[in-house]
Amino acid sequence: MNNDQPVVRLTDLTRTFEQGGVKIDVLRGVNLTIAPGEIVALLGPSGSGKSTMLQAVGLLEGGFGGKIEIAGVDASTLPTDGRTKLRREHLGFVYQFHHLLPDFTALENVVIPQLVAGRDRVEAEERAAEILGGLGLEHRLEHRPSQLSGGEQQRVAVGRALANRPHLVLADEPTGNLDEATSDKVLAEFLDLVRGEGSSALVATHNERLAARMDRVVRLKDGILA
C-alpha cells in the first residue's frame, strides 16, 4: 500500500432503510478520510448510524450510495469476491461481543484467521503468542473463551483483529460490554497495539472520555459527520 494515500475515503456515503413502508435516511452524505496510522473515534447517540457506517467501510453489506475507497481502491464498483479480497487484505474487526470460536483456544482463535490468509502454521502460532503475550495473556493461550474473563475474551478478540496486520481496524463499541475500569484498560491496550502496529482505526463509541484518547473525534448527527 502507498503510505501517502488514505486508508479509507468515504465520499457522499448514503444509506436508506425501509421500516414498515417508511423510509429512514440513516446516512445522508457522509464524508471522511482516514490517514495511515490515524485513530478516529466515531461518536454519536444510539441509532445515529455508527454501526451502519462501520458496515459500509467493512464492505460487509451492500445498499450504500456514494463512494467507499479502501487503500485507494473504489470498493463501490467491485464484485463480491473483489470486496472480500480487499477486506481480507486491509481490514480487521472488533465487535462489542467477542464472537470468538468457542471450541478453540485463545491461541487458535488468533491463529485461524492467519491460516485463512495463507500464513504457515508455525509463523501464525508465533505471531499469535507474541500478540497475546503483549496483551498480558501469556498464561491464557490454551484457555477456551468460556474459561476466560470478559476482559480477557475481548483482549483475544483485539489480538485476532490485528493478527493479519490490517491497515485499518474497525471497532464497534469494542469495550462496551465491560465494566468501566476493565474497559479503560482494554481500550488503552487496544490503542497501544494499533499504534505499535502502525495501523489506523475507526472506533464507534458512545463514550466521550474514551473517544478523547484517540487522535481525532468525528460525530455522526442527522446522517452527516460534524
Ligand X SMILES: Nc1ncnc2c1ncn2[C@@H]1O[C@H](COP(=O)(O)OP(=O)(O)OP(=O)(O)O)[C@@H](O)[C@H]1O
Q: CB nearer to ligand X: give 42 or 129.
A: 42
Site string for ligand X, 28-47 (x = CB under 6 A): ----------------x-xx
CA dihedral 216, 78, 197, 5 (to 10 degrees): -60
What the block records as the C-alpha cell of 33 is 478520510
* Cell 473515534 sits on residue: 41
Three-state SS annotation for 98-122: CCCCCCCCHHHHHHHHHHHCCCCHH
Q: CB nearer to ligand X: give 47 or 82.
A: 47
Region of residue 23 (phi > 0: left; psi between -120 and 50: alpha; otherwise: beta)? beta
Range in contact with ligand X (rule: CB under 6 A) among 18-26, 150-158, 162-170, 192-200: 18-26
Q: CB nearer to ligand X: give 44 or 92.
A: 44
Q: What number of CA atoms fall less than 13 Å from residue 123's CA on the CB side?
A: 9
Q: CB nearer to ligand X: give 52 or 105.
A: 52
Q: CB nearer to ligand X: give 126 or 180.
A: 180
Q: Which of 17, 192, 208, 216 binds ligand X (CB under 6 A)?
A: 17
Residue 20 touching ligand X (CB under 6 A): no
Q: Which of 3, 19, 80, 146 binds ligand X (CB under 6 A)?
A: 19
What the block records as the C-alpha cell of 35 is 490517514
Site string for ligand X, 145-184 (x = CB under 6 A): ----------------------------------------
What DSSP designation does 60 have?
A: -
Q: Which of 50, 90, 98, 127 binds ligand X (CB under 6 A)?
A: 50
Residue 52 touching ligand X (CB under 6 A): yes
Give me the sheet containing 73-74, strands edge to edge: 22-34, 8-19, 65-70, 73-74
Q: Which of 7, 30, 34, 48 binds ligand X (CB under 6 A)?
A: 48
Q: What number of CA atoms fall less than 13 Å from residue 41's CA on the CB side?
A: 17
Q: What residues are paired with 43 via a beta bridge?
A: 205, 219
Q: CB nearer to ligand X: give 3 or 46.
A: 46
Residue 211 touching ligand X (CB under 6 A): no
Kindly list the residues in this chain that would bind ligand X in the complex (CB under 6 A): 17, 19, 24, 26, 44, 46-52
